Chain A
Amino acid sequence: MRFEEWKEEELIRQAIADEISAAEGRLEGLEERVIRAIAARDLECPAWRRWLRSLLAPRTPALRLSYALAALLIFVGVGVLIGRFAFTPEPLPALAQEGTVFALAAPGAQQVELVGDFSAWKPIPLADPDGDGVWTLVLRLPPGRYEYAFLVDGRWLGQDPNADEYVRTMGDYTSVRYIGNGEGSSS
């Protein structure tokens, strides 16, 4: 024998409601508990940051979304065009171009590559156009801390003489550079 579907649904609905309603008493005062837990981690919020947040907080997205979307398309388009024409991918002599210079003297090497956390450790080839054994590459990196190393003919070279510091991990050295204009740094 089978239950009639609507009766069955009613029974199930009832069964669920019974259980949850019986337990619901526990939700009494949950709002206060949540607020207290969040507030327990409170610290004073500087006024300028509040301003920044209110600047960026969404208000009526239905309306603004279309404006923002339009602006997005315009500016991305412009940005892409400017970027494409202003940046050349070939490595240039150190002083001639803005960016971080990676240089290694490796005469006799067939291939020199750079690997680092900025490239998810995928190799980026350096170039030695004049064949004097000095391989270079210029990268524009956002401010931060970067770990990297060279691969000279496939061999790991973890100590770049131009690095800011070295770390030793997994049995070998890795080089570190700090990029950008820091406020509390020595370089």
Chain B
Amino acid sequence: MRRIFVLAMVLFALSGYAQVQFMLPAVSPEDVLQWLRQSALPAAEKAVWLRILPQAFDEGLVDPKIAQAFFQRLVGTPPTFVGEITAIMEELLAQGLSVTHLMNKVSQGIIMGRSWAVITNEIRLRASVLAATHASLSPYRPKAEARASVSVRVGSFAFQARTPTWEDVEVEIAEAISDFIAGGGDINDWSGMEALARTRLLQLRGRGLPSNLVDHVLQVLTPQLIGEIVSQAFQIERR
């Protein structure tokens, strides 16, 4: 019965959150797939998404709410743009990497009124950095965190009550590096990037990221590690 109470507390807190007015209406993976099937997205890309999304939802790599908004915005954009964005995200998902934040970035770019080329470049940059970050940090991944992301499932109900995971830590570090570079920072300033990533992790420690994960990753975060990530992301020959 202990478990019931824990579950009940989680639900109680959830339903409280669910009442906040800004929250987009709850969207289930099935809703997204259904919408996608009937949407006016280019046939080729629609097929790709319909193929890869179910597994991506299952593995928590895509948030349905964000995905829904993202696909809605994609409708009507040039097919080449849809194709390029889809290809980049498909590759990340195949590696088991989350793309929710990139979907949001596309939405942001569109609402900022940026050109397709600018948005695509931005996504490409962030995707490369994320893949490289994941590769460099994998050896340090704590085993315990593999199951800390308790996505509570009861029958067919799946609650988006995600506990932040190691994947989220990787995303934050990757995004910090990308923000630094996209903001005009020097690609060789590994110390600057490390400082930004460290500051961001400390800001999120205890609110958005679990303290023990942050502490753990800060032990291995060095300018050299950043350098390894950047070199890999941009295929630079390291001296």
Interface residues of A (CB under 8 A from B): 38-39, 41-43, 45-46, 49, 53, 55-56, 58-59, 64-65, 67-69, 71-72, 74-76, 78-80, 82-84, 86-87, 89, 115, 117-124, 139-140, 142-145, 147, 151, 156, 164, 167-172, 174, 178-185
**What 1/0 flags go to B33-69 for Cβ under 8 Å of A?**
0000000000000000000000000000000011011
Q: Which residues of chain B have C-beta atoms less than 8 A from A76's C-beta?
A: 11, 14-15
Q: Is B90 on the interface with A (CB-CB < 8 A)?
A: no
Given A122-B69, A182-B203, CB of A67 within 8 Å of CB of B1: yes
- In-complex Cβ contact of A183 among B1, B114, B206 (8 A): B206
Binds A, one of B78-86, B127-135, B209-217, B222-230: B209-217
Q: How many A-B Cβ pairs are below 8 Å?
A: 184
Chain B residue with the shortest CB-CB distance to A178: B203
Binds A, one of B91-99, B140-148, B186-194, B231-239: B140-148
CB distance from B63 to the nearest CB of A (A): 9
Q: A76-B15, A180-B206 are in contact. List 7 more A-B contacts (CB 8 A).
A: A41-B141, A56-B152, A72-B11, A82-B15, A144-B204, A183-B211, A184-B205
Q: Measured between alpha carbons, how far is A144 from B172 in the docked complex, in Å?
A: 11
* Assembled-state Cα–Cα distance A84/B21 (Å): 10
| B99, chain A: closest CB distance, angstroms | 14
Given contacts A46-B144, A121-B104, A183-B205, contact A170 B18 (CB under 8 A): no
Q: Which of B156-172 contact A (CB under 8 A)?
A: 157, 172
Could you give 28 example pairs across A and B, Cβ below 8 Å? A41-B141, A53-B147, A53-B148, A56-B152, A59-B3, A71-B4, A75-B11, A75-B12, A75-B15, A76-B15, A78-B12, A79-B11, A79-B12, A117-B101, A117-B108, A119-B22, A120-B104, A139-B22, A143-B208, A144-B204, A145-B204, A164-B203, A167-B179, A169-B182, A170-B108, A178-B204, A183-B206, A184-B205
Cβ B183 vs Cβ A181 within 8 A: no
The reply to whether A43 and B11 contact each other, CB–CB distance below 8 Å, is no
Q: Known contacts A145-B208, A181-B207; is A124 also within 8 Å of B143 by CB?
A: no
Find out whether the CB atom of B16 lies under 8 angstroms from the CB atom of A79. yes
Q: Chain B interface mostly helix, strand, loop or mixed?
A: helix
Interfacial residues, chain B to chain A (CB-CB below 8 A): 1-8, 11-22, 24, 65-66, 68-70, 101, 104, 107-114, 118-119, 122, 138-139, 141-144, 147-148, 150, 152, 154-155, 157, 172, 179, 182-184, 200, 202-208, 211-212, 214, 216
CA distance A49 to B12 in the complex (A): 22
Q: Are A171 and B12 in contact (CB under 8 A)?
A: no
Given A56-B6, A69-B155, the answer on whether A182 and B24 have CB atoms closer than 8 Å is no
A-side contacts of B154, CB under 8 Å: 65, 68-69, 72
In the complex, chain B residues whose CB is within 8 Å of the CB of A80: 15, 18-19
- How distant is the Cα of A124 from the Cα of B207 in the complex, in angstroms? 24
Tell me the interface secondary structure of chain A in the complex: mixed
Nearest residue, chain B, Cβ from A140: B20
Interchain CA distance A82-B15 in the complex, whole Å: 9
CA distance A82 to B183 in the complex (A): 44
Do residues B204 and A182 form an inter-chain contact, with CB atoms below 8 A? yes
Closest to A180 in B: B207
Nearest to A81 among chain B residues (CB) is B15
Contact of A72 (CB < 8 Å), options: B7, B118, B139, B179: B7
A178–B172 Cα distance when bound, in Å, is: 13
User: Measured between C-beta atoms, what is the minimum distance from A71 to chain B in Å?
Assistant: 5
In the bound complex, what is the Cα–Cα distance between A83 and B23 (angstroms)?
13
Counting from the closest, the 4 A-B pairs by CB-CB distance are A79-B15, A83-B19, A180-B207, A143-B207
Q: Could you say which residues of chain A place their CB within 8 Å of the CB of B5?
A: 71
Q: Which one of A55, A84, A151, A168 lies within 8 Å of B3 (CB-CB)?
A: A55
Q: Are A120 and B66 in contact (CB under 8 A)?
A: yes
Task: Give CA–CA (A174, B175) in the complex, Å.
Answer: 14
